[in-house]
Structure 1
Amino acid sequence: MESIQILDAKKHVGETVQIGAWVANKRSSGKIAFLQLRDGTAYFQGIVVKSEVGEEVFQLAKNLNQETAVLVTGEIREDSRSKFGYEIGISGLEVVGESHDYPITPKEHGTDFLMDHRHLWLRSSKQHAIMQIRNEIIRATYEFFNKNGFIKIDPPILTGSAPEGTTDLFETNYFDQKAYLSQSGQLYMEAAAMAFGKVFSFGPTFRAEKSKTRRHLIEFWMIEPEMAFMHQEESLEVQEQYVAFLVQNVLDNCDYALDVLGRDREVLKKYTKLPFPRISYDDAVELLQKNGFDDIQWGDDFGSPHETFIANSFDQPVFILNYPKAIKPFYMKPHPTREDVVICADMIAPEGYGEIIGGSERAIDHEYLLEQIRAHGLDENEYSWYLDLRKYGSVPHTGFGLGLERTVTWLSGIEHVRESIPFPRLLNRIYP
C-alpha cells in the first residue's frame, strides 16, 4: 500500500492508500463520521461508515479530538461537492498522537490570543494558504533571477554601519566594538555587482522602528538585486517583469490557496499587464493636492493614505519616480538637470498595500559620495570600502529591494502583514 500526501490524491483515484494527517475538525451522525483531515499539503474529507469498518473503528473515529494525529487507510474518491475535489473513504484508522483541549477551536478568537498561540495558529486553513503563497513567491523569485543571469550573493547580517544612515538599528556588542543587525544588504550587493555583474540577495533584515501599523514588522525578508552597467529605466523594466512573474506564478500554482483565501483571480490578473504606469513625485503631489489631500506639500514623504490614493488612481502597481533628495538615502544618484531630486522609484501596490519596492540608480562619483556621507553625519572611515567601489572601475549601476512580507500580504489579500511570516516580530511581541 502506498503512502501519499493529500495534495496528490487526484493521482490515486480508485486506489487504496495510507495518509498521515491531523484531524482539523469532525462531525458525525449515528452511522457516518466525517473527518476534516490536513497533512501540511492540503485539507480534505475522510468518511468513516459504521457498516463498513465495524463498531470499534467507528467509535474511535467519533471520539477523535481536534488535532489528533492519525494514520488513515482508505480509497481515494472524487468529491464534486468540495473545492478540493477528492476525499478518502476510510477503512482503517490508527491514532499516532493524541490531542486534548486544543486551544484554538472553530469559534472566533481575538488577535492577541491567536498571536500568543502562533505555533498552533499556523495549522489553520487560512494561515496554511498564506504560507503556501509565501513559498511560491520564494520559489518563483529564485526561478526569475536564475533565468535572467543573476547570481545569489549573501551579504552579512552583522554590520559595522547603517546603510541608510538611520538610527532605527538593533545594536549589539561585537567583541570590543559596536555592531548592528542589518537593515539592508544593498551596499554589499553593490560590491558584489562590481564582481559578478548581476546579483541578488535574499535574507532577513531588521528595523528597530517603533511602528504599529499593519505594514510594519521588526524582522522581515528582503530580495535585493543589483545590476552593473544598467540605468534606472532598465531597472524599472526588471522590477515590473519580476513582480508580474510573481503574480502569474501565484495564479498558476496556488489555486487551492487562493480558493481558501477567497482571492479574486481576475483582480490579480490585472497585475500581470505590462508596463506598469509611472508618475513623477512632482505629479503625484499635484494629484493628491487636487483631490483634497491638503496635508501634503512638496518635500514631504507619502503616508499610507497618499500611497493608497495614488495606486488606486491607476488600479495597478505604479512607480513613483524621482523623490526629493532630502528624504532619500545618501547613495542615490542626483538628477542630471535638477539639484532637488534623485533618480529613484518606489513601486506602490494597489488595494491599499503601499510600497513593496524601493530602488534607485546609485551615485558613482567618488567626491559626491564622500560629500554626502559627511553631510549625513556618517563616519567616512566606516564607508571607505564602499568609496573604493568608485575608485576602481566604477560603472553605472542600479538596484532595488522588494519586501517579501508586504508582497505576500498583497497577493494573499489579507489585512495585516503579521500573518505573512511564520513567526512575526512586532513592536511588543517576540513570543513565541
Structure 2
Amino acid sequence: MLDNYFKYKQHKTDFKTEVVAGVSTFLTMAYIMFLNPLILSEGGFDRGGVFTATACATALACFICAFYAKTWPVGLAPGMGINAFIAYGVCLGMNYTPEEALGAVLVAGVVFLIISLTPIRAWLINSIPKSLKLGIGAGIGLFLAIIGFQIMGLTADNPATLVGLGDLSNPLLLLGAGAFVSMIVMEQKGIKGNIIIGIVGFSAIAWVTGLGDFYGVVSAPPSMTYLFKFDLGAALSASMVTVIFTLFFIDFFDTAGTLTSVANVSGKIGRDGKIQDIDKAMLSDSVSTVAGAMMGTSTVTTYVESAAGVKAGGRTGMTSLVIGILFLLCLFFSPLATSLPKEIDGAALIYIATLFVRNITDIEWNDISESGPAVLAMIAMPFTYSISHGIALAFISYAAVKLVTGRFDTNPAIWIIAIASVISFAI
C-alpha cells in the first residue's frame, strides 16, 4: 500500500531504505526536543508545555510533508535561531508575553502561506543576494553561540569590558566542554546522532556523579499549555511589524536554502535548473508554522539535517513519515528532557552555532560590496543581541553601498526592505 502511494521503485528506493533514512534524520535533529523547551523557557514559556508542543508540531509537520509533498524526504521542526529570537528578542527584549509572541509567529506563518501560493515566492527567493543570506545565517549562528556561552557559564558580566571569562572551576561547565568536543569528534568520524549522543552521554556522567538531578526517563506527556492560546492583539500592532518580518524572513529563506541543498543531494533539480515540487514543500512548511503556533511553539521550518536521510538513500515522503512517528514517541520522555544540565545544553548550542557559521566560506569575499554587509549582519546580531537588528542593518548597508556606487540594477526587494528597516529604527 505504501509503495503505491510513495512509489519507491520509481524513485529507486524501497521500504527498508526509507525507514533507515528516517531514523538517520531523526537522530541528527532529535536535539530540538531538549533545546527548544530550554530556550523558550528562558523567555517565560512553560517548559513542559513547549516540550509537548514541540513533539506534536514536529510530528504533524512531518506528516503533512509526507502525504502532501510526498517526493521530499525531509524533517521539519521548530527552528533553531528563530526560537532564540522569540525568547531573548521578543519576550525578554521587548517584554511581550509568550501568547503575544505566538500570535506573531502565527501571523508570520499566514504571510508565508499566502506568499507560497503566489508568484511572489519565486521573486523573493531570487531577490535576496546570496552573500546576505549567508551572512544572516552566520549571524544567527553567532547569536546562538553567545546564548550558549551564557547558558554554559563560559562568559560573565564585566563592567569594564561588558563580558569576561566565566568560572572555569565549575565541574558542569567542564562537562559541557567535554560534550562539545565529543560532538565534533563524532561528526569527524561520521557517527550519526552526535549531538543527541553527546547531550545524553555527558548528562549521564553528571547524574552518576551527583552533579545533576535525574528526574526519570518516561512519564505521561505534560499538558500542551499554549494550545490555541495565541494573542493576535499585539501581533497586529505597529510595534510588531519588525518582529513579524524577521520571523517571516528567517523562515522563508531558511526553508528555501534548505530545500535547495536537499534538492542538490537528492537530484531533484531538473535540467532547466528548477527544483521539482518545491511549491509543495514550501506550502507544507508554511502550514506547519501556522499549526505550530496554534499548538504553542515557535516557527516550524525544514531542517538542513534532512541531508543525513537523503545521504542514507531516502527519496520519498516515507522518510518524513518515519521521522514524524519517532518524534511522537518522544512525547513520553519529558522527565529525561528536564534532567539535562543546562551547561551541557549550552554546549550543544555552541556546536550548532558552528554549523551555521561555516557557510561563510561561500560569501563573495573578493567583492567588498557583497561581503561587507554580510559581515555586518554576522557581528551585529550577537553585539546588539538582536537578530532583527542584524538583518535590518545588513539590508540598510547593502542598499547604501549599491546606491553610492551607482549600482541601481539591484533588485527592488532590497530597496523595499532597506527603507522599511530605516522606518522601523526611526519609529
Q: What's the TM-score once normalised by structure 2's chain length?
A: 0.25
- Greater share of helix: 2
Q: What's the TM-score once normalised by structure 1's chain length?
A: 0.25
Q: Which has the larger radius of gyration?
A: 1
